[in-house]
Every structure is written in C-alpha cells, then in structure tokens.
Structure 1
Amino acid sequence: MTTVRTLISLAVKKGWDLYQLDVNNAFLHGDLNEEVFMTLPQGLAMVGKGMVCRLKKSLYGLKQTSRQWYDKLASSLCSKGYTHSNIDYSLFYKKQGCSLVFVAVYVDDIILTGTDLEEIASLKPFLHDQFRINDLGKLHYFLGLEILYRPDGVLISQRKFTLDLLKEFDFVDCKTTTSPLDPVEKLMATEGTLLSDPTHYRKLVGKLNFLSNTRMDIAYSVQHLSQFMQSPREPHLKAAYHVLRYLKQDPTLGIFVSTKPDLNISAFCDSDWATCPDSRKSVSGYLVLMGDSPISWKSKKQATVSLSSAEAEYRAVRQVVGELVWLERLLDELTVQCSLPISVFCDSQAAVHIAKNPVFHERTKHIEVDCHFVRTKLQQGLITLQHISTGSQLADVFTKALTGVKHATLLGKLFVFSSPPT
C-alpha cells in the first residue's frame, strides 16, 4: 500500500493522469509449469474408478495460481519493454528518454500512470489481447481506496468500506466519540470474560486493519487491539466497538494529497516507553511525508523490552530509517531525486545524541548492534536527525491513545480531512 500511495502522490504532484484496468478471470490465464491433477468435479460421470483430471491451465484454488498469473503478466509486460522493480515486484516501469510509464499491479487490478499517454494508450489494447481486460478509465476506486479529485489535489478515503463496516456490525445509529480509544482505560490480556465467539472480534479487528490503509488516525488503536487476537475478552471487544463509534463520527475521513510540487521527504518518529502493562514493551510509531502528503506510517509494539525511554526512542528511529532506506530506493526507480539528507524529527534529545555520538557507549552497550545502523546512515548523509518539542511531534498519534481535542488537533496537521482544505 505504501507503493500505491507513493505512486498516486507522485502522479498528483506531477500532474500525471491515473488510469485503472481490471483483468477478467486473471487466475485462469496462468500457465502450469508442472503436472497437476485434480479429482473429478461433481456431476461428471466417467467409466472406471480412481480416474483424475490433468490440468492444462491453472484454476482458482490452486496454490500455484497466483504465482503463475504473476509470471504470465510479468513476461507479457517485459516483452513490451517493461522492467519489474527490484524494490517492489508489484511495480513495473518503462523509461525511454523523457517517456515514463508506471504499472502497479495487485492481483487483477492495475494502475497506469506516467508522462507518455501514447504508450499508455497502446498498452491497453496489448493487455486486452493477452488477457481480456476492462478499461475502467480514470482511477476512482482501487482496492477499496476511493480517489476523489479536487482542483487542489485528491482525497484518498475508504468511505464505502467504512459505511459497510458500520452497517455490518450494526453501528449505523450509534453514539459517536471524539477519539478511537479511551485514553484512561488500560486493556490487559487476561482481564475480563473470554468471548464465546472469538471469530467475531477477529473479523472486526481484521477489517479495521484494512481500513488503516487510509485512516492513520486508527493505526495505534488497531495495533493495540491486535495484541489480543488469540484470546479476546469482553473489554477488548468493547474497545473495538469504541473505534466503530469513533468512525461513525466521520466515515468520509481520508488523507489529502495536494498538487503542490513539493517532493521532499521528511519523517517523524516517536515511542511510548513500557506502555504494555503485560510485557512492559514499548510502542513505536512513525510517519513519512512527501511534501505535506502522508505516504507511509506504522504503529508497532517493539520486539524487546527497552531499559530506558532513550532506548525506546532510538529503536523508533531505527524503524523509520529502515523504511526510509527502502523508500529512497523506490523513489529512485520512480525518477524522484530525494533531497538528501532526509530530515527525521525526534522529540528525544538522548536518542539524537546516541545516534550522533559514539562516546555514549556506557549507556548503549546493551542495545543490539542492528540499531546502530542509524548512526551509519547518519554518517552516509541519508538522514539528518533533528530534535523537536513533544507538542510538535506528529507521530504522537501512533504511540498512544489521545484525548479528543489533542487527537483532532493532530489530524489537521497530518492532512487528514473529510474534504480538502479551502
């Protein structure tokens, strides 16, 4: 999804047209490279016992199907001069002089964009001859993401998915809340009555996780609720319902991508030390912006226990720098020259000093070596670490439950809107 958001943001900022294609019965186009047999389908009467069918083409339900479809699509695009990205294999591109065309693929849904409209126009009938495609015209709906075009940019939301989710769980007429989670309530893994039907909770959290592809405001909530998937209890389900009540407040909320041609990358990272009452592990969060448009974010509980808040913050920096290393390579393939070093904003002076000053050995000897690759990237000039005040930390929304007023204030700074700003 980061690749999709980045490609859409780049196209909007550079004024490229976005098109969408849909492949009919995509998995039936794959060629099998091995012998595969299946039992006779119901209703087919054959003489003799133990007879089976040998497949000549792939079918839905085979483990090989998705791989074979990708191989068939990749070989077809490569035969037309396209190259698959080494950073994300769902992305293909063709570069010839000033001509740029990018193809993003997710199973049977395809996005086309670039500078060469003639190449895009010739690619559509080529793919139609190969696979039988539907030309859906301008990009409006992709993987549940709704693209709403405005004169000053586009709004990417999941309005329909949100409304369907509220309807499915009977929360259409519920009372609303101003924040995804109650900042006072602390959820424990073993407190409360076990749910008689845990699949209900798991289904809800799974759909909320998909919704966080555009709703970064619930990223922390989804991460927190996902910790209890194995043995969900009544307080956990109540907290998940609280998220639904928050979504009811504004189902049309999404991220706004402006047409401002600012392609500079910046990042914010934060952590909440020892916030998990069961494991005492910390939660990290980061946000990556292209200009003023969010393209990547994450809220995640750290894998190990941090002995200090400085260590927890340093691990948060490591996570966002790892994302920036990958993103810088992706942008290079998208012909975007990142203005280096990339600014990484952190509200911990100690974490900044640890990255810049190896003399801090006595305080950092227990930290794993892999965390210190932050220092390497700092010395190589990929990033520059800058300290900001806690009040200006945009990644705060990914590490803890906030009050309604502070939550709403941060969303405005994150360019999360129900309609584009005037």
Structure 2
Amino acid sequence: MTDLGPMSYFLGIAVTRTPSCLLFSQEKYAEEILERADAGPPFRDPTLYCSLAGALQYLTFTRPDIAYAVQQVCLFMHDPRESHYDALKRILHYVQGTIDHGLHLYPSASHRLITYTDADWGGCPDTRRSSSDYCCFLGDNLISWSSKRQHTLSKSSAEAEYRGVANVVFEACWYRNLLLELHCPLRLATIVYCNDVSATYLSGNPVQHQRTKHVEMDIHFVREKVALGEVRVLHVPSRYQFADIFTKGLPRELFLDFRSTLSVRPPPAMTAGV
C-alpha cells in the first residue's frame, strides 16, 4: 500500500483540516448539481428534475440539514407537477446560498454516544407509511444520521415512534461493537432521546399489552438492551428534539439552531496574516 498523506478528497467529499476542526464538504458536487439545474428550460424536461432530486440525496452525506426537504421532493417526483419543480428550485436556491457549508468535526473530551430519534406518523399521502429519522453524536460530533421510510404501516404514532427507537438502538449497538473492536469501548450507556412519552414508557415497561403485539420484536430488542445497561431511553421536549429537522419543516430560528447543533456550518474564518 502507498501512503498518500493526509486525506483531502474521498468519494466526492472534500476534507479540509484546520487547527480547530475537520471540515467535510461537497461544495464541488453542489456546484455540479446547480449547473445541471441551469442546463435547460424549466418544466420542459421532467426527467431532469427527477434526476436532480435523486442527486440531491447524495448531498445530504455532508448536509443533513436539507434531508427533510430533499425527502419530500423525492417523495412526490414520481408524478412531477409544477409545484414540485418550485419546491426543488427553492432547495437549489438554498444550496446555492449555503454552498460552502459542510460538516465540522471537533476534538471532544467526551466519548459518550447520544442519539435522537423521531418519526413522521403516516407522512406519505399515498401509502400512509411513516418515516423514521435519527441522528447519532459521539461526544460533540455528529457521526451518523438517517431519514428513511418505514417498511410497514403503523397504526399509531407511538408505534411509529417506537420503530424509530428500535432503528436507532440497532445503529447504536453497531457503533458500540465497532468501538469495542477499535479498543475504545464505551463505558456508559447510550442515551436515546425520544419526544413520545408512550414510546419512552414502553422501553422500560415489562408488561406486554395486547395492542403492542405487532411491534413485539422491536419492544423486546430495545428492552433487552435497556436491561443490559447498554441503552437508556429518555424523553426530550420537542424544542430540543434535533431529529425534527429530518421530519418536518421548522421555523427559521429553530431550523438554524438545529443546523448549528448538527455542526453544519460555513468554513472557519481565515485569520492568517491579520
């Protein structure tokens, strides 16, 4: 193997090292998407906008702040209409205005794994399936996030939320095992924050109710991890549920606050020579 030195570009992601952090950005890829959007007259080539919606999904690798908007556009682009094009153009306009933004990773003294999970109950108007969304922090750094439609229908919001809890617990267990193999075991339990009281209660309630039989496997999986001390499921108010940025449109101030919490920011100001 050849040592190519410090990583600077990998799989379309540019890596910039600064004295305070690592910056992961897809600015070049975003510029290519914007060029494709200007390639032809609006509304005359639906396939162009469908491909743009799909391409934008890859931009969420370093820009989870646009995950919800891209998810909604992709959801409806199977039958493109003018309103969908308008929504896509608004997303492209937002990407253009924040093209230099990327994911920052900072040195952190804490190595605790903390996760947030949310669900959009019955959010798909065609299938009424829910979407599960989560974000995982190792210390102060965002290391994983997802916005994905559930495979089965949920009969209640608690069921949809609990499936989301099970998904993020599975993800957390994978990271715990990975860190164990890297000889950096986590000593403290993983915290799972959920803003649904019923889903939080089910994670520690040993009584199996009849109305929860259809999510029995998820319930037993989460309860086992809770009993082993690997996971704690706690309630969090919606004001501090950062996974909401993946499931719904938010007021501007709250969106900017959550985006900053996810460490999606412009590059640090250059002060050399000042």
Do residues 389 (structure 1) and 240 (structure 2) align? no
**1:87 matched to which residue of 2?**
none
**CA deviation after TM superposition for structure 1 residue 206, in Å:** 2.2
Is the 1:265–1:339 contact (alpha carbons within 8 Å) kept by the matching residues of 2? no
2:76 paired residue number:
228
1:305-363 residue CA offsets vs partner (Å, 9 max, x unmatched): 22221111111101101111222222222222113311111111110111110325144
Q: Is the 8 A contact 2:202 2:219 kept in 1?
A: no
- Correspondent of 2:64 among 192, 202, 216: 216
Aligned partners of 2:101 and 2:239: how far apart in 1? 23
Aligned to 1:245: 93
Instruction: Determine the C-alpha separation between the residues in 2 that align with 1:387 and 1:355.
Output: 11
Q: Is the 8 A contact 1:282 1:306 kept in 2?
A: yes
In structure 2, the residue matched to 1:201 is 49
1:265 counterpart (85, 95, 113): 113
Pick from 256, 265, 269 the counterpart of residue 417 of structure 1: 265
Query: What residue in structure 2 maps to residue 140 of structure 1?
Result: 8
CA offsets, 1:8-60, max 9 Å, x none?
xxxxxxxxxxxxxxxxxxxxxxxxxxxxxxxxxxxxxxxxxxxxxxxxxxxxx
- List aligned pairs for 1:28-177, cutoff 5 A: 123-124=1-2, 136-170=4-38
Tell me how far 1:270 sits from its aligned partner: 0.9
Distance change (3 Å), C-alpha of 1:312 and 1:420? farther
Cα separation, 2, equivalents of 1:248 and 1:301: 27
* Structure 2 counterpart of 1:275, from 95, 105, 123: 123
Alignment of 1:360-399 (within 5 A): 361-399=209-247
Structure 1 248/394 Cα, relative in aligned 2: closer, same or farther at 3 Å?
same
Deviation, 1:244, is: 0.4
Deviates more, 1:310-319 or 1:369-378: 369-378
**Structure 2 CA distance for aligned equivalents of residues 275 and 154 of structure 1:** 35
The answer as to 2:223 corresponding to 1:355 is no
The answer to which structure, 1 or 2, has the higher relative contact order (CA under 8 A, 6+ apart) is 2
Contact 2:195-2:235 within 8 A present in 1 as well:
yes
Over aligned residues, Cα RMSD in angstroms? 2.2
Alpha-carbon distance, 1:382 to partner = 1.8
Question: TM-score of the superposition, structure 2-length normalised?
Answer: 0.89
Closer, same or farther: CA 420–384 of 1 in aligned 2, 3 Å: farther
Q: Give the 3-state SS of the residue equivalent to 1:156 in structure 2.
A: strand
Q: Which runs of 5+ in 1 are unaligned?
A: 1-122, 125-134, 172-194
SS of equivalent residue, structure 1 residue 168: helix
Q: Work out the CA distance in 2 between the residues paired with 1:362 and 1:278.
A: 29
Q: What is the aligned residue count?
A: 267
Gaps of 5+ in 2: none
Question: Which SS does the other structure have where 2:55 is aligned?
Answer: helix
Deviation at 1:196, TM superposition (A): 6.3
DSSP-derived class of the 1:365 partner: helix
